Amino acid sequence: IKHLLDIASLSKEEIEDFLNLAENLKEILYRPIPKVPTLRGKLIINLFYEPSTRTRFSFEKAAKTLSADSLTFTGKGTSIEKGETLLDTIKNLEAIGADLFIIRHPVAGAPHFVAKYSKVPIINAGDGTHEHPTQALLDLLTVKEKLGTLSDLKVAIIGDIKHSRVAHSDILAFQKMGSTVWVSGPVHLLPDIKEENYFKLSERSFKICYKIEDAIKDADIIIALRIQRERHGEALIPSFLEYHEFFGLKPEHLELMKEKTILMHPGPINWGVELAYEMEKYPFQVILDQVENGVAIRMAILLRFLTGERGYEDFN
C-alpha cells in the first residue's frame, strides 16, 4: 500500500501489521532518551485544515521520536489565504522536499483526491465525515493491550454516528478483526439504509439500536462520541441537555454493563454531555491510554510508509 486513506481498503492482515509494528516500537517511548535515528533526513509535512490536538501533536511526537523533521501547516499565514488550492499546495511542498503528507481536511475524500497526484505517501488524519483511520488503529491497539484479543467482542459505539469519521473507521475496523459492532444514538444521527448496507460487513456483525441500553448491555467495549455540532448546520436538535438525558453514559448504566467493560472516547470530550462527569473515575476508562497509543501507532505508520518496514524488531 502506498497511502493510508481509510480502513475500508485495508485487509485484516494489513491492520495486524500496523498493530504489531506499533507494539514493537512502543518501548522506544519509555527509554531514558526516547529517540532513535531511523528517519533522519526525512521531511514530514502535517497539513491541518481543521483543528486538532491529539492527532496533530502525536504525529509530531512520533516524527521527532524517529528523528524525522516535521513541519506543520494550518492554513493561517500561508498562500491558502490567497486562494491556493490543496493540490497546488501539495505540489509546491513536494518541490520543497516533503517525503510524506499527513492531511486533515473538512472535505470527505480530500486525501483520496490528492493521493492520485502526489508522488509521496498521503496519510488521512481525518477527512470530513468520512474516516479517521489512524484513530481506529490506535483504538484497536488499546483494546488488544487491555483485553488480549480483537475477535468475538461486542463493541458499542454511542452518539453522532452519522457525522463521526471515528465511528465510521471503528465500525469497519472492529468488524474486520472479527467483532460485532452495535451503534446507538438519536435516530437522525444514525446511519440511513444505504449507509447501513455499507457498514454491515456481514449479516450479524453490525446492528443499529434506538436505545442506548440495548447497545451497552453486555458490551465488552463502549466508545462514546462527541456530538459534532459543527457539522449539523443550524439545527440544535437534540440539545446537549436532551442528549445527556437519553444517550449520555452515566453511573446508572453501570448495572447494565459487564463488570469490566472498557470505556473509550476519541476526544475531545464534552463532559456532562456524552459522558457524565462521574465516568472519569470509572476504573476501566482508557481514554488517555488511547492518546498514548496514538503516538506508537503513528510511529508505526511513519516507519511503514517511509521505509517499507512491516515487522520491526530489536531497535537500537
Which residues are documented as binding site for carbamoyl phosphate?
54-55, 104, 132, 135, 267-268
Per DSSP, 99 falls in state S
From CA 245, how far away is CA 211, in angstroms rounded? Answer: 12
What is residue 275's DSSP assignment? Answer: B
- What is the rounded distance in angstroms from the CA atom of residue 303 to the CA atom of residue 310? 8
Query: Considering the rule CB under 6 A, would residue 54 count as an interface residue with ligand CP?
Result: yes
Binding residues for L-aspartate: 82, 165, 226
Q: How far is the CB of 22 from ligand CP (least distance, A)?
A: 16
90/125 with CB nearer ligand CP: 125
Site string for ligand CP, 180-219 (x = CB under 6 A): ----------------------------------------
Q: Find the binding residues for ligand CP in span 134-153 (CB under 6 A).
A: 135
In the complex, the smallest distance separating the C-beta of residue 187 from ligand CP, rounded to whole angstroms, is 25
Size of the site for ligand CP (CB under 6 A): 11
Residue at grid coordinates 481506529:
136
Cβ proximity of 309 and 20 under 8 Å: no
Q: Which is nearer to ligand CP, 185 or 266 (CB)?
A: 266
Q: Which is nearer to ligand CP, 139 or 208 (CB)?
A: 139
User: Is residue 52 at the binding interface for ligand CP, with CB under 6 A as the rule?
Assistant: yes
Which segment (53-61, 83-91, 224-232, 247-255) binds ligand CP by CB under 6 A? 53-61
- Is 231 a residue that touches ligand CP (CB under 6 A)? no
Q: How far apart are CA 61 and CA 257, in angstroms?
A: 35
Q: Is 55 in the site for ligand CP (CB under 6 A)?
A: yes
Rounded to an integer, what distance in angstroms lies between the CA atom of residue 311 and that of residue 302?
13
Beta carbon nearer to ligand CP, 154 or 165: 165
Q: By CB under 6 A, which span of 52-60, 174-182, 186-194, 235-243 interacts with ligand CP?
A: 52-60
Using the contact rule CB under 6 A, the part of the chain among 48-56, 80-88, 213-221, 304-312 near ligand CP is 48-56
Handedness of CA 78, 83, 86, 89 (dihedral sign): negative
| Maximum alpha-carbon separation in the chain | 58
Residue 127 forms beta bridges with which residues? 105, 131
The set of residues, in sequence order, having a beta carbon less than 8 Å from that of 51 and lying 6+ positions away, is none
CB-count burial class (<10 Å; 0-12, 13-18, 19+) for 148: exposed
Other CB atoms within 10 Å distance of the CB of residue 241: 11
Output 183 or 257, the one with its CB closest to ligand CP.
183
Q: Measured from the CB atom, is 41 or 268 closer to ligand CP?
A: 268
Q: Whose Cβ is closer to ligand CP: residue 133's or residue 186's?
A: 133
Site string for ligand CP, 265-294 (x = CB under 6 A): -xxx--------------------------
Q: Report which residue type is found at 56.
A: R
151 class by beta-carbon count within 10 Å (0-12 exposed, 13-18 middle, 19+ buried): exposed
Q: Which residues of 215-229 are buried (b: 16+ CB within 10 A; e: fewer)?
A: bbbebbbbbbbbbbe
**Residue 46 interacts with ligand CP (CB under 6 A): yes or no:** no
Does residue 111 bind ligand CP (CB under 6 A)? no
For binding to ligand CP (CB under 6 A), which residues are involved? 52-56, 126, 132, 135, 266-268
